[in-house]
């Protein structure tokens, strides 16, 4: 395939936009080469500015569960836009979407809409701190909760040390209140809670991780985490920006059988438009302004275009729960096909899969946390990524990202994808 126009557009973009992109992973730094500039998309396919067609396995990083340009969502946005795009005032559709979301997700009574997943997670932590009257939080290495200062922390020198900032602009004062644990390692969490008794407000986690590849929690770990948080009076926050309404109507809570205290959602709740939300039981949510003392606001929160798109998306998922089963079957089919090819080729690999999330890691060791994910052969991944791209398959341009299937992908697309793997090695 040729990408002359995409490359030219990237050169121009770099003159006016830092790095030429508005989110770093888009720049292809992890895989090399120039990014693809998308012109349009429909169903399972992306079409770039050079006229190339790709089977899409990122689905706008998760929210487009029903495929690109899903007609009920598009029609809902068009009709709502005719009546105005933004008011900064209450609208009925906010309540309609809130009522539907609360009915679908377990363990929540109220929900507040924000403008991004980052804002949802940031607000959830502030709410947890305000409710609990404590300052510290625990996060897990490799879990990404947006670019709020509290989350841009890397591990310190030992299991019970404070984190340190891994981005300039994040202060040591912020870092000292963020503690780092290891995913799928309950003992690392216990060590932190024992070393910081009665100081931890919340534990925040991707219940099924998607930002170090797809990493599945063991039952012992995720159930034990719930029990530990309950015993220690710590709020458990599920960052379901990726998993919410994707792993089932009730998201990861439903799929894993684990109750969270606060849940964060991302763009799926706006049908793929820029939006987020956080939700909890009434006694926690009632701490938010204007009812309570914990301040959180957003001028364009509850934007009517996003609300209309979200209502159309969630209505479709709520009325057709078989979509989740269908997606899981397709993902399993893809898993088995890629595994068979790589095994025949003698390529060391691990494939992780949960529901419609999947990732391929080029290593001979199980991938269960960030450190084991980091042991993958990145040179092989780069070869794999660009080989698939040239065969018309668009994968996440990073070894540390989950793939997301959408319902528009057919078995013929899956067969094409599996066949593409055979051409690379």
**E strands present in 223-370:** 235-239, 262-265, 276-280, 350-354, 357-361
Q: Which helix (H) or strand (E) holds 255?
A: helix 251-256
User: Could you tell me whether strands 164-165 and 38-42 are parallel, antiparallel, or unpaired per DSSP bridges?
Assistant: unpaired
With tokens 């926050």, the residue in question is 237
CA distance 349 to 342: 7
With tokens 């052969």, the residue in question is 377
- Cα 100-74-356 angle, rounded to 5 deg: 65
DSSP characters over 82-132? TT-S--SS--HHHHHHHHHHHHHSTT-SEEEEESSHHHHHHHHHHHHHHHH
Inter-residue contact 63 to 271 (CB < 8 Å): yes
CA distance 424 to 38: 24
Inter-residue contact 371 to 141 (CB < 8 Å): yes
- Cα 208-213-123 angle, rounded to 5 deg: 50
**Of 96, 95, 105, 97, nearest in space to 280 by CA:** 105
Active site residue 382: no
Active site residue 56: no
Inter-residue contact 262 to 78 (CB < 8 Å): no
Q: Which helix (H) or strand (E) holds 329?
A: helix 322-345
Task: List 360's β-bridge partners, or say none.
Answer: 351
**Annotated catalytic residue within 80, 267, 330, 382:** 267
**Annotated catalytic residue within 48, 56, 239, 369:** 239
Inter-residue contact 286 to 294 (CB < 8 Å): no
Active site residue 239: yes
- Assigned token pair, 284: 């926690």
Inter-residue contact 396 to 36 (CB < 8 Å): no
Q: Write phi, then psi, for 417 (nearest 5 degrees).
A: -65, -45
CA distance 131 to 294: 8
**Annotated catalytic residue within 3, 57, 144, 183:** 144
Query: What is the set of active-site residues?
Result: 144, 239, 267
């Amino acid at each position: 395939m040729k990408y002359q126009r995409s490359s030219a557009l990237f050169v121009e973009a770099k003159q006016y936009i830092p790095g030429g992109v508005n989110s770093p992973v888009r720049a292809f730094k992890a895989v090399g080469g120039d990014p693809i500039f998308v012109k349009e998309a429909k169903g399972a396919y992306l079409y770039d500015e050079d006229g190339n067609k790709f089977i899409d396995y990122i689905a706008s990083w998760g929210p487009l569960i029903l495929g690109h340009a899903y007609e009920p969502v598009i029609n809902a946005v068009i009709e709502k836009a005719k009546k105005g795009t933004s008011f900064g005032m209450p609208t009925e559709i906010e309540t309609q979407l809130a009522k539907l979301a609360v009915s679908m997700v377990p363990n929540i009574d109220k929900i507040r809409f924000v403008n991004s997943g980052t804002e949802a997670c940031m607000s959830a932590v502030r709410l947890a701190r305000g409710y609990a009257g404590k300052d510290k939080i625990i996060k897990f290495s490799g879990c990404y909760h947006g670019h709020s200062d509290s989350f841009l922390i890397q591990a310190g020198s030992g299991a019970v040390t404070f984190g340190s900032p891994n981005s300039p602009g994040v202060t040591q004062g912020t870092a000292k209140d963020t503690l780092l644990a290891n995913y799928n390692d309950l003992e690392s969490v216990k060590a932190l809670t024992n070393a910081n008794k009665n100081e931890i407000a919340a534990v925040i986690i991707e219940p099924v991780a998607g930002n170090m590849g797809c990493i599945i929690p063991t039952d012992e770990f995720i159930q034990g985490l719930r029990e530990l948080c309950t015993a220690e009076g710590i709020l458990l926050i599920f960052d379901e920006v990726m998993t919410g309404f994707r792993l089932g109507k009730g998201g990861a809570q439903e799929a894993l059988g684990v109750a969270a205290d606060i849940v964060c959602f991302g763009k799926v709740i706006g049908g793929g438009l820029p939006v987020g939300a956080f939700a909890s039981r009434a006694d926690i949510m009632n701490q938010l302004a204007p009812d309570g003392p914990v301040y959180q606001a957003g001028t364009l929160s509850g934007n009517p275009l996003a609300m209309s798109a979200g209502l159309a998306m969630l209505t479709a998922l709520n009325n057709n729960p078989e979509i989740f089963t269908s997606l899981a079957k397709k993902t399993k089919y893809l898993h088995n096909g890629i595994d068979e090819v790589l095994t025949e080729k003698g390529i060391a690999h691990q494939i992780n899969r949960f529901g419609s999330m999947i990732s391929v890691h080029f290593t001979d060791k199980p991938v269960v946390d960030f450190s084991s994910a980091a042991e993958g052969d990145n040179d092989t991944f780069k070869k794999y990524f660009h080989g698939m791209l040239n065969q018309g398959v668009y994968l996440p341009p990073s070894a540390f990202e989950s793939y997301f299937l959408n319902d528009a992908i057919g078995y013929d697309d899956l067969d094409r994808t599996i066949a593409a793997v055979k051409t690379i090695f």
